[in-house]
């Protein structure tokens, strides 16, 4: 096997590049023996956060499972861009059934493996926010409460992007989508709607729940590895910017994701058995405006005239997260 | 072993004899006795390493089996009525993926109005989903069909529904022969899947197919389905050789020799129809009966061959295609296309209404006198219908229909049986 020197140029972050780390601390993705589970050549858009998140997550899961992994995929962007017949970007056993049943299909795979005594093989299910928080929610909750041997990964890009940017239960307040347009008295998505599925997952008392972001891929991989090392139902909710749906520059995917984390809008935390046990502190808090202004889905909050009330409401959500998860505190939770 | 047991218990015992590996089910009457028994046997350690999953919906139940079957397990569920419709998307998906899942349908009406009693509206609604559909006449046949269904499903890589009339069969106690495990093992080989999710040999299942190949995929599924027309009778024959009783098959003819009139039906009503045929034969009427045991694929050529010399056909069906009439009769007409044989549609037994020999005899006499309306609703209470129509004529805000009809039926004192 040949090794290749990989250079990381990450500016404006505190992240240490892999080249500065010793071998064991480097990411799975930086290793020559990574699986390339989701191989190159797929049809995701430029700057797709979901493709990035899935590549890191599934390769990390493969490493943790010693390459004994089966992946189940809900209908959505990830499924469509990775498997247009007769091509498939998947180098692992992979199945797509329906939009709303990935958690149940994964439970079935896990049950079959148990029945057959294939205890070394692990199961991951994955889907977008629509598949997870909306149409597949019943099956997801069932998989959770039965504590089935499945790691479910949600790639949250905050709307139905595959069908052309429509609102989901994960769409943030004020965001413009094609079914919450920037018109009328309350432009964009309504404040006070939507659901927090990581918290709902925690309420099931499952062994492990975590949020992650493509802004911190080290952390993302580590959480996948942690989850893979545990038994029962596990849930990881990954924030993945969608340049197309969010109206952000494809070159800014990492920046947008990082602003979501550093503003407090998308808190990174881990929970075990229903209790938050760790969180990633914000090292340099930014205002939500820094996040919002990168995306045309929030343009109506700034033009033609600035909507101070709406921006303040979004800032209040971020501040609430900071307080709830202790994102600025030096110690404890 | 011969025992006096409930139809549901017999089916559960038969399923266990087939060594299922994953069972997932959601409770709905009248399917519950089957899955309760199975869950008990699995929990009691009587079914090897079989896993029983209590799921959150019928959609979840079949989805679990889709995953389990793709991972190489022999899988089973049971449902009915609203439950079958709730899982409809997964029903099509399982067939499209070519997964040999076996599912019992404890046939029940579909609401609204909500009704838990028997008819065939549920399985008929999913008749074209790509599943093979077998209909049981008796509890014994319901049990036997499960042994045949697993073999059929796995040989064709195609899911199979075993349809048995809710309550009439699921809750009936009859003397039933259940074979030994060793006999079943020699009849049903272990499941050897044509595709399996395996880390040692990674494949993608369920990829997107565009217009360039979708027609060919569907055509091949159709071809594969039609193979059941050969395999169903073959498996029924081999079942008969091994277990020494007739069960299954594409169709069964009863007193068809020289018959000018033939009644076609599916399921348990065949028993009543056979009795009616006997009584009418005693009166000198040349009548016979044809049970359709395999409804999908539809044995059109086979039925045409046995019906081509009859004078008339009456299809008694427990379903209604609103806006057109019969479902089974439309298929029978297609089978007899070009032959000068009138096919009458008789809608009967909806929502659990009893089908009596007396009513069937009236029906036959009316058909022979060419007095049957098309479609003909057996035992329709026209007085109640006319009253309600008149009331609706007078009043725009007539209120909920079902509730009004119940009141009307009671007011008139008609017994609904």
Q: What is the mean pLDDT of residues A251-258?
A: 97
What is the C-alpha end-to-end distance of chain B, expressed in Å? Answer: 35
> What are the φ and ψ backbone dihedral angles of A230, each rounded to 5 degrees?
-110, 165
Higher pLDDT, A228 or B416: A228
Gap between the Cα atoms of B280 and B139, Å rounded: 26
Question: How many alpha carbons fall within 13 Å on the CB side of residue A246?
Answer: 28
Contact A168, A180 (CB under 8 A): no
Higher pLDDT, B232 or B401: B232
Domain of residue A46, CATH code: 3.40.50.970
- Test the B interface: residue of A105, A120, A127, A141 with most B CBs within 10 Å: A105
* CATH code for residues B2-243: 3.40.50.970
Gap between the Cα atoms of B154 and B134, Å rounded: 15
Q: Classify residue A158: in a domain, yes or no.
A: yes
Kindly tell me if the per-residue pLDDT of B410 is higher than 90: no
In chain A, residues 224-243 whose CB comes closer than 8 Å to chain B: none
Gap between the Cα atoms of A103 and A91, Å rounded: 21
Question: How many alpha carbons fall within 13 Å on the CB side of residue A50?
Answer: 30
pLDDT in tens, A313-333: 999 999 999 999 999 976 544
The answer to whether the predicted template modeling score (pTM) of the entire model surpasses 0.80 is yes
Gap between the Cα atoms of A155 and A131, Å rounded: 10
> What are the φ and ψ backbone dihedral angles of B208, each rounded to 5 degrees?
-75, 140
CA distance A322 to chain B (A): 35
Gap between the Cα atoms of B350 and B107, Å rounded: 11
Residues of chain B positioned with their CB less than 8 A from the CB of A146: 53-55
DSSP bridge partners of B343: B313
Q: Classify residue A331: in a domain, yes or no.
A: no
Pair type for strands B22-25 and B2-6: unpaired
What residues contact B330, with CB distance under 8 A and at least 6 apart? Answer: B321, B324
B369 in contact with A at a CB cutoff of 8 Å?
no
pLDDT-above-90 percentage for chain B: 94
| Interchain pair A106, B67: CB under 8 A | yes
B159 in contact with A at a CB cutoff of 8 Å?
no
Kindly tell me if the per-residue pLDDT of A148 is higher than 90: yes
Q: Tell me the residue ranges of DSSP E strands in B271-319.
A: 287-292, 294-296, 312-317
CA distance A215 to chain B (A): 29
Higher pLDDT, A194 or A10: A194
Gap between the Cα atoms of A86 and B2, Å rounded: 53
| Interchain pair B49, A83: CB under 8 A | no
Contact B314, B262 (CB under 8 A): yes
B130: left (phi over 0), alpha (psi -120 to 50) or beta: left
Sign of CA dihedral A307, A164, A152, A104: positive
Domain covering B251-377: architecture: 3-Layer(aba) Sandwich (3.40)
Gap between the Cα atoms of B24 and B52, Å rounded: 6
How many domains does chain A divide into?
Answer: 1
Q: Domain of A321?
A: 18-325
Q: What is the mean pLDDT of residues A150-166?
A: 98
| Interchain pair A116, B49: CB under 8 A | yes
A150 in contact with B at a CB cutoff of 8 Å?
no
Q: What is the mean pLDDT of residues B403-408?
A: 84
Contact A168, A195 (CB under 8 A): no
> What are the φ and ψ backbone dihedral angles of B205, each rounded to 5 degrees?
-120, 135
Q: Which residue of A has its CA nearest to B63?
A: A105
Which pLDDT score is estimated for A3?
67
Kindly tell me if the per-residue pLDDT of B417 is higher than 50: no
Contact B183, B242 (CB under 8 A): yes
Gap between the Cα atoms of B122 and B107, Å rounded: 7
CA A327 to chain centre: 19
Kindly tell me if the per-residue pLDDT of A93 is higher than 70: yes
* Neighbour count for residue A182 (Cβ, 10 Å): 18
Average pLDDT value over all residues in chain B? 96
Residues of chain B positioned with their CB less than 8 A from the CB of A115: 21-22, 48-51, 68, 73
B70 in contact with A at a CB cutoff of 8 Å?
yes
pLDDT band (50, 70, 90) for residue A283:
confident
| Interchain pair B69, A139: CB under 8 A | no
Which pLDDT score is estimated for A4?
61
* Neighbour count for residue B302 (Cβ, 10 Å): 17
Pair type for strands A94-96 and A122-128: unpaired
* Least-confidence region, from B140-144, B205-209, B301-305, B314-318: B205-209
Contact A77, A129 (CB under 8 A): no
Q: Which residue of A has its CA nearest to B70?
A: A109
Kindly tell me if the per-residue pLDDT of B357 is higher than 60: yes
ipTM: 0.95
Closest residue to A72, CB basis, from B57, B67, B209: B67
Kindly tell me if the per-residue pLDDT of A6 is higher than 80: no
CA A1 to chain centre: 32
| Interchain pair A98, B63: CB under 8 A | yes
Contact B319, B348 (CB under 8 A): no
In chain A, residues 71-130 whose CB comes closer than 8 Å to chain B: 72-73, 79-80, 83-86, 88, 90-98, 100-101, 104-117, 121
Which pLDDT score is estimated for A333?
45
């Amino acid at each position: 096997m040949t090794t290749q020197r990989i250079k990381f140029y990450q500016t404006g972050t505190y992240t240490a590049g892999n080249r500065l780390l010793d071998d064991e601390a480097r990411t799975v993705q930086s290793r020559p023996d990574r699986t390339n589970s989701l191989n190159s050549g797929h049809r995701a858009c430029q700057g797709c956060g979901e493709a990035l998140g899935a590549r890191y997550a599934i390769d990390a899961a493969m490493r943790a499972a010693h390459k004994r992994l089966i992946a189940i995929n809900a209908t959505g962007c990830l499924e469509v861009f990775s498997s247009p017949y007769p091509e498939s970007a998947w180098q692992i056993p992979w199945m797509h059934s329906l939009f709303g049943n990935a958690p149940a299909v994964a439970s079935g795979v896990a049950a079959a493996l148990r029945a057959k005594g294939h205890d070394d093989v692990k199961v991951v299910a994955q889907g977008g926010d629509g598949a997870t928080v909306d149409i597949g929610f019943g099956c997801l909750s069932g998989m959770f409460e039965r504590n089935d041997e499945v790691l479910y990964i949600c790639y949250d890009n905050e709307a139905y992007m595959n069908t052309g940017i429509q609102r989901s239960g994960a769409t943030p307040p004020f965001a413009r989508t094609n079914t919450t347009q920037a018109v009328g008295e309350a432009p964009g998505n309504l404040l006070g709607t939507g659901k927090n599925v990581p918290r709902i997952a925690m309420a099931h008392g499952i062994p492990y729940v975590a949020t992650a972001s493509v802004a911190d891929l080290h952390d993302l991989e580590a959480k996948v590895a942690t989850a893979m090392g545990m038994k029962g139902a596990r849930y990881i909710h990954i924030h993945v910017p969608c340049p197309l749906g969010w109206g952000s520059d494809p070159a800014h995917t990492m920046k947008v994701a990082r602003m979501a984390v550093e503003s407090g809008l998308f808190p990174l935390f881990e929970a075990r058995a229903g209790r938050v046990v760790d969180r990633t502190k914000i090292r340099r808090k930014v205002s939500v405006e820094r996040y919002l202004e990168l995306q045309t889905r929030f343009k109506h909050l700034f033009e033609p005239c600035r909507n101070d009330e709406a921006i303040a409401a979004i800032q209040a959500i971020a501040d609430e997260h900071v307080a709830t998860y202790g994102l600025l505190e030096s110690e404890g939770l | 072993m011969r025992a006096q047991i409930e139809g549901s218990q017999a089916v559960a015992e038969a399923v266990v004899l087939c060594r299922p590996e994953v069972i997932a089910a959601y409770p709905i009457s009248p399917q519950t006795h089957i899955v309760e028994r199975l869950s008990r046997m699995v929990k009691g350690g009587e079914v090897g390493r079989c896993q029983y999953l209590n799921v959150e919906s019928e959609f979840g139940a079949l989805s679990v089996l889709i995953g389990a079957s793709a991972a190489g397990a022999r899988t089973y569920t049971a449902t009915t009525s609203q439950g079958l419709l709730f899982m409809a998307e997964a029903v099509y998906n399982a067939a499209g993926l070519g997964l040999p899942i076996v599912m019992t349908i404890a046939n029940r009406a579909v609401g609204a109005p909500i009704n838990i009693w028997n008819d065939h509206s549920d399985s008929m609604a999913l008749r074209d989903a790509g599943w093979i559909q077998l209909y049981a006449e008796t509890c014994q046949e319901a049990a036997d069909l499960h042994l045949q269904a697993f073999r059929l499903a796995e040989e064709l890589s195609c899911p199979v529904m075993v349809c048995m009339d809710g309550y009439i069969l699921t809750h009936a106690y009859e003397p039933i022969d259940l074979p030994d495990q060793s006999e079943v093992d020699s009849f049903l080989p272990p499941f050897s899947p044509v595709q399996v999710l395996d880390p040692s040999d990674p494949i993608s299942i369920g990829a997107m197919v565009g217009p360039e190949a979708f027609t060919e995929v569907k055509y091949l599924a159709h071809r594969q389905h039609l193979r059941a027309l050969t395999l169903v009778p073959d498996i029924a024959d081999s079942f008969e050789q091994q277990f020494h009783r007739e069960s299954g098959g594409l169709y069964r003819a009863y007193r068809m020799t020289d018959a000018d009139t033939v009644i076609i039906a599916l399921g348990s009503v065949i028993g009543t129809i056979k009795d009616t045929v006997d009584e009418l034969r005693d009166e000198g009427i040349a009548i016979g009966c044809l049970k359709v045991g395999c409804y999908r694929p539809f044995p059109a050529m086979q039925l045409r061959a046995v019906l081509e010399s009859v004078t008339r056909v009456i299809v008694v069906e427990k379903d209604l295609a609103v806006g057109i009439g019969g479902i089974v009769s439309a298929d029978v007409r297609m089978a007899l296309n070009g032959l000068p044989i009138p096919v009458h549609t008789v809608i009967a037994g909806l929502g659990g209404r009893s089908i009596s020999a007396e009513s069937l005899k009236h029906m036959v006499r009316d058909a022979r006198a060419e007095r049957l309306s098309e479609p003909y609703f057996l035992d329709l209470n026209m007085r109640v219908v006319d009253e309600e129509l008149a009331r609706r004529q007078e009043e725009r805000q007539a209120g909920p229909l079902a509730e009004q009809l119940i009141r009307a039926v009671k007011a008139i004192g008609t017994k609904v049986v």
